[in-house]
């Protein structure tokens, strides 16, 4: 029978897509619903505006740091005698601009060659280095936002990591390009290229190498840029999708630049700069979209329709706290390996931000502590037989009251205070002397 109720049909479709966890569905349903959720959530993120806003901020920071960044790379590469490789790489990146790519490349190279570090002085040099470092930090802040990581790396880790990328990265990049070019120019390889069908296969691989190289760069960024542990499979998924998107965007933008002659008529010589800005924006937006795909691949519990960070209700916070103490206390009692944060997230299927808030409240309440491992694991702060369940639930219920609003800041009439006192008394009577040990100890069901 056909359902003629539009509201009922809409509710059925919504429930089919958004209700339940992935691990509670059959295999084929997970494979069908998960990509659909991914597409809808990415469209929601784009409409929400945070990704586009951060991509715009990265464009501005890139304009400030582009010449200092290339100048720094130019100086390092010049010491190794391979500085002449910058121009071909720039031309490859700017190829979607069409015939204007040569002019833009020459314009950037001219700026680099005219940059005299001796004239700048120590203050000017420090400002140039700062603009380069600020770009790296801006990238880390953007991917941390996508991965829901509130803090940056420590200053020492950022300093060493940024210097490694800025100084060693260009050398490795252009060394690989130079070695590849040298190998391809050897007589043996040239004879192999002249032999069919091997020559056609090698030619096809040569055309595909830039695609694999772009994908590898995206995978590297998604694996190491966020200040959290990113699984390799998630980084691969995000890198492959972002690499394919970049190739499609390159082709589409090249067609756009070739056919948009009206921009040159309106903006004159400024049209080149305008097209360059649009192309930079598309590159950063693709990088952020790929980071989102990697994040949702690793944490599918964030594939929800609502915007912003998923929040837990009061009832769910208590439930999560009991589950945390059950898992951690049981492992502690049995002498099993301690639970890490990523293990707990995967086991409970709770969004990382919400789970982190509950764990922090238990740590501040003196019920949990972290080990010194990397990554840290969680242990009960004392014997599980001395941790009362009423203390556990009270800690979760009152978390944040010392910093925000508490009962003393919201006086209530005597009638309300009486009802709340009765509810608290009933809660105390039900919990009685139950502890976490009772929680993790199996009980024999009544006949």
User: With contact defined as beta carbons under 8 Å apart, do 174 and 85 qualify?
Assistant: yes
Rounded mean pLDDT of 372-386? 85
Ordered DSSP codes for 252-289: HHHHHHHH-HHHHHHHTTHHHHHHHHHHHHHHHHHHHH
Residue 265 or residue 44, greater confidence: 44
C-alpha to C-alpha distance for 37 and 31, rounded to whole angstroms: 11
Are residues 278 and 249 in contact, defined by beta-carbon separation less than 8 angstroms?
Answer: no
Mean pLDDT of 280-286: 91
pLDDT at 322 over 80: yes
Three-class secondary structure of residue 351 per DSSP: coil
Q: 81-133: per-residue pLDDT in tens?
A: 555 666 666 666 677 766 667 777 777 777 666 665 555 556 666 776 777 77
What Å distances lie between residue 248 and 245, 251, 252, 255, 294, CA to CA?
5, 5, 6, 11, 19
pLDDT in tens, 195-243: 666 666 666 666 667 778 888 889 988 988 888 888 899 999 999 999 9
Q: Of 257-261, 263-267, 271-275, which range is least confident?
A: 263-267
Strand stretches in 270-406, DSSP E: 339-340, 368-370, 377-380
pLDDT (0 to 100) of residue 287: 93
373 φψ region: left (φ > 0), alpha (ψ -120 to 50), beta (else)? beta
Instruction: Write the DSSP string, 80-106.
Output: HT-GGGHHHHHHHHTGGGTTHHHHHHH
Model confidence at 245, in pLDDT bands (50, 70, 90)? very high
Q: State the virtual CA torsion across 207, 210, 213, 214 in degrees, nearest 10.
A: -130
Using DSSP's 3-state secondary structure scheme, residue 387 falls into: coil
With a cut of 70, say whether residue 4 has pLDDT above it.
no
* Confidence at 291, pLDDT banded by 50, 70, 90: very high
Q: What is the pLDDT of residue 114?
A: 65
Angle of helix 232-259 relative to helix 198-224, nearest 10 degrees? Answer: 110
User: Three-class SS of residue 368?
Assistant: strand
> Domain locations in the chain?
48-302, 314-440
Query: Do 392 and 436 form a contact (C-beta atoms < 8 A)?
Result: yes
Contact, 216 vs 239, CB < 8 A?
yes
The whole-angstrom separation of Cα 45 and Cα 49 is 7
Q: Is the model's pLDDT at 28 over the cut of 60?
A: no
Give me the sheet containing 339-340, strands edge to edge: 339-340, 377-380, 368-370
* Rounded Cα gap, residues 27 and 30, in angstroms: 5
Token pair 């009577």 is at which residue?
429
- Taking only the tens place, the pLDDT of each residue in 175-197 is 665 556 566 666 766 666 666 66
d(CA 410, CA 414): 13
251 pLDDT more than 90: no
Contacts with 258 (C-beta within 8 Å, 6 or more apart), sequence order = 98
Quote the tokens at residue 257.
């630049």
Transcribe 400-447 into DSSP letters.
TTTTS--GGGS---HHHHHHHHHHHHHHHHHHTT-BHHHHHS--PPP-
Span 21-34, average pLDDT: 60
The pLDDT, as a whole number, for residue 118 is 59
Distances (CA, A) of 63 to 135, 145, 359: 10, 22, 41
Residue bearing the bigger pLDDT, 14 or 284:
284
Query: Across all residues in the chain, what is the average pLDDT?
Result: 77
**Cβ-contact 58, 138 below 8 angstroms:** yes
Helix, strand and coil in the chain, % to nearest 5: 75, 0, 20
Q: Which residues contact 259 (CB under 8 A, 6 or more apart)?
A: none
Domain 314-440 classification at class level: mainly alpha
Beta strands at 377-380 and 339-340: parallel, antiparallel or unpaired: antiparallel
pLDDT of residue 373: 78
């Amino acid at each position: 029978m056909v359902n003629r109720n539009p509201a009922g049909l809409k509710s059925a479709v919504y429930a089919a897509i958004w209700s339940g966890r992935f691990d509670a569905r059959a295999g084929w349903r997970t494979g069908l619903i998960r990509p659909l959720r991914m597409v809808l959530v990415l469209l929601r993120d784009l409409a929400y505006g945070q990704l586009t806003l951060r991509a715009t901020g990265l464009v501005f920071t890139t304009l400030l740091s582009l010449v200092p960044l290339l100048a720094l790379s130019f100086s390092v590469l010049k010491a190794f005698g391979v500085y002449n490789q910058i121009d071909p790489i720039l031309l490859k990146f700017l190829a979607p601009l069409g015939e204007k790519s040569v002019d833009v490349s020459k314009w950037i190279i001219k700026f680099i060659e005219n940059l005299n570090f001796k004239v700048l002085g120590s203050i000017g040099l420090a400002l140039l280095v700062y603009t380069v470092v600020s770009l790296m930090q801006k990238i880390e802040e953007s991917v941390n936002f996508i991965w829901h990581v509130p803090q940056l790396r420590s200053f020492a880790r950022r300093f060493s990591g940024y210097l490694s990328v800025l100084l060693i990265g260009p050398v490795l990049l252009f060394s690989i390009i130079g070695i590849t070019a040298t190998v391809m120019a050897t007589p043996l390889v040239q004879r192999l290229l002249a032999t069919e069908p091997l020559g056609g296969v090698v030619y096809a691989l040569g055309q595909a190498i830039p695609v694999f190289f772009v994908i590898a760069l995206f995978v590297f960024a998604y694996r190491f840029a966020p200040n959290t542990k990113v699984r390799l499979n998630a980084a691969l998924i995000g890198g492959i999708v972002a690499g394919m998107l970049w190739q499609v965007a390159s082709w589409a933008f090249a067609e756009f630049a070739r056919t948009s002659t009206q921009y040159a008529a309106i903006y004159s010589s400024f049209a080149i700069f305008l097209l360059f800005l649009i192309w930079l924006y598309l590159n950063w937006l693709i990088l952020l979209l790929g980071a989102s795909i990697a994040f949702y691949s690793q944490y599918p519990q964030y594939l929800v329709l609502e915007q912003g960070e998923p929040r837990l209700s009061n009832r769910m916070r208590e439930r999560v706290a009991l589950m945390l103490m059950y898992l951690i206390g049981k492992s502690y009692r049995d002498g099993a390996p301690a639970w890490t944060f990523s293990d707990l997230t995967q086991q409970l299927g709770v969004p990382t931000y919400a789970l982190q808030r509950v764990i922090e409240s238990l740590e501040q309440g003196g019920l949990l502590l972290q080990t010194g491992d990397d990554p840290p694991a969680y242990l009960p702060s004392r014997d599980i037989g001395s941790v009362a369940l009423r203390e556990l639930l009270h800690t979760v219920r009152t978390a944040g009251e010392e910093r925000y609003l508490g009962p003393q800041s919201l006086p209530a009439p005597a009638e309300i205070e009486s009802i709340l006192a009765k509810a608290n008394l009933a809660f105390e009577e039900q919990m009685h002397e139950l502890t976490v040990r009772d929680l993790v100890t199996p009980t024999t069901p009544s006949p």
